[in-house]
Amino acid sequence: MADPTYGVRHIAIIMDGNGRWAKRKHLPRALGHKKGVEAVRNIVRVAGKMGVEAMTLYAFSSENWNRPEDEISDLMGLLRQYIQSDINEFVENGVRLKVIGNYKVLDADIVTMIDNAIEKTAGNDKMTLAVALNYGAQDEMLRAVQHIATAVKQGDLQPDEIGLEHISSGLDTADLPPLDLLVRTSGELRLSNFLLWQAAYAELYFTDTLWPDFDKKELEQALKSFGDRERRFGGR
């Protein structure tokens, strides 16, 4: 039987298009986000059954704070609901929850819920679900460089000893497999400050499908596209 993942160990998704999905259907924007959460739930289940080791989802960027307050409130409410409703399923299915970005600035009750969920799923090893919250790749790399600078200042590391591995090990994704495939929905053709370092040699896949409509078939197409490509990593 063929590998349904086509060798993809780590897939990341920029989940875009909730608002446009709602607009096209003449529905409130909040319902688009709610439908987007349902798509998250479905895709995590499907990816786990396929055997994907890690999935990183761009849930809330550091730039999303510029959105209207009522939309931010709706998003945070959905985050609360998702954690509460799905944590037991994570445990049952062996999913480890990881959060990248500075989620500690969120409301105290959300931070507590996240910390508890991370602790409760820490021993799971079937799949890691990394959720990017208040995340920006440039900030992530800045923090990694600051950590290196501190090590140099303290005399633990010499400048000429600094290698790529020192940056990689300082990133939020250091304990995840290398990124194989980065998917963006809704037809936008940019990375939007997401996993910039990790995407250096990842395959990119763009689809016009809006995130709420991204289902098992769409995921299979993205994985097949990866399988049809020849990865050279800079070689010939």
Enter the pTM of the model: 0.95
Q: With contact defined as beta carbons under 8 Å apart, do 212 and 234 qualify?
A: no
Indicate the average pLDDT of the chain: 95
Phi and psi based region of residue 68 (left: phi greater than 0; alpha: psi -120 to 50; beta: remaining):
beta
pLDDT value at position 66? 93
Active site residue 16: yes
Q: With contact defined as beta carbons under 8 Å apart, do 204 and 232 qualify?
A: no
Q: With contact defined as beta carbons under 8 Å apart, do 60 and 134 qualify?
A: yes
SS3 2: coil
Active site residue 64: yes
Query: What's the pLDDT tens digit per position in 157-216?
Result: 999 999 999 999 999 999 999 999 999 999 999 999 999 999 999 999 999 999 999 999
Q: Which of 16, 74, 86, 172 is catalytic?
A: 16
Q: Which of 3, 42, 64, 175 is catalytic?
A: 64
Residue 46: Cβ within 10 Å count: 17
CA dihedral 186, 233, 51, 129 (to 10 degrees): -60
- Statement: residue 69 has pLDDT above 60: yes
Average pLDDT for residues 26-41, to the nearest whole number? 96
